[in-house]
Amino acid sequence: MSAVSESARTVAPANPFSRAVRDSLIVAQRNLIRMVRIPEVVIFGLIQPIMFVVLFTYVFGGSMKIGGSTSATAYTNFLMAGIFAQTVTFATAGAGAGIADDMHKGLVDRFRSLPMARGAVLTGRTLADLVQTALTLLVLAGVALLVGWRVGSNGDTNALKVLAAFGLLLLLGYAFTWIGALIGLSVRTPEAATSGGLVWLFPVTFLSNAFVDTGNMTPWLRHIADWNPFSATVEAARVLFANPGASTSTAWPMQHPVWASLIYSILIVLVFRTLAVRKYRSATA
């Protein structure tokens, strides 16, 4: 908070874009400092995805048929793109709860009273959440390697493709964080934001290609899963990681998953950032 107050006493840059960037980075710094001072938030955020990796790998690994094989290793390589995508999107609930908590305590009203760019508070918050998500993803990738996940298990890949896959995953997580921001601004308590942030995420993540081959779904359900933005990013990550499970669907997002993932994520950011900033301008604690 002191950093933001200090910012208010300085002369704002003449360029509105530069001012927005500066203010956003200051707010992001404030939220990152808060995360460092409350490490249990990061620790608990790591426990759930690690549990999913272990449970799905060792409980379901020998029961799933991937590419004609019931090998636990084949399912692990198929699974990890889905777990990574689920992890980055579940950060949405935390983002919404954090913003709702700031509103509940009156901090958002304090920010609104300062001479700062209107969208900076939300942009800074989402950038800080992105940093936390990236750290979580890094740790999760290490756990995945320990349980047998390997890139290039179904073809050739390289470091640039692997980095591109993680980049698409983080972009999806950042896009969904804006949905969380809108939810956080629309409810009265952090508890409601957490519930509201999770209730729609479960159908989005499970009605997809993250954990099972959509070819085994009924036709109408497979059609929904194939056009799910979440599925596009999972498929893109599998392609770039060269992991098994490439979709045989003729749906455009499954045939061009990298482009579909980029388009979906950018559209989500544009739409929900606009709605969240508009809501922020009129929100009251």
Convert the pLDDT of each residue in 13-69 to its tens digit: 557 778 888 888 888 888 888 777 777 777 777 788 888 888 877 777 666 666 655
Phi, psi of 131 (to 5 degrees): -65, -45
Convert the pLDDT of each residue in 139-180 to its tens digit: 999 999 998 899 987 888 899 999 999 999 999 999 999 998
Percent of the chain with pLDDT over 90: 34
Contact between 184 and 103 under an 8 Å Cβ cutoff? The reply is yes
pLDDT of 192 reads: 82
pLDDT of 7 reads: 45
Residue 3: is its pLDDT beyond 70? no
Convert the pLDDT of each residue in 166-176 to its tens digit: 999 999 999 99
Convert the pLDDT of each residue in 262-283 to its tens digit: 999 999 999 999 999 888 877 6
Phi/psi region, residue 247 (left: phi>0; alpha: psi -120 to 50; beta: rest), is: beta
pLDDT of 225 reads: 94
Residue type, 154: N
Convert the pLDDT of each residue in 210-259 to its tens digit: 988 888 889 999 999 999 999 999 999 999 999 987 777 889 999 999 99
Convert the pLDDT of each residue in 194-217 to its tens digit: 788 788 898 999 999 998 888 888
Convert the pLDDT of each residue in 76-117 to its tens digit: 888 899 999 999 998 887 778 888 877 777 776 677 777 777
Contact between 96 and 183 under an 8 Å Cβ cutoff? The reply is yes
- For every residue of 172-204, DSSP letters joined together read HHHHHHHHHHHHHHHSSSHHHHHHHHHHTHHHH
pLDDT of 199 reads: 86
Name the residue among 42, 23, 47 with its Cα closest to residue 32: 42
Domain ranges of the chain: 2-282
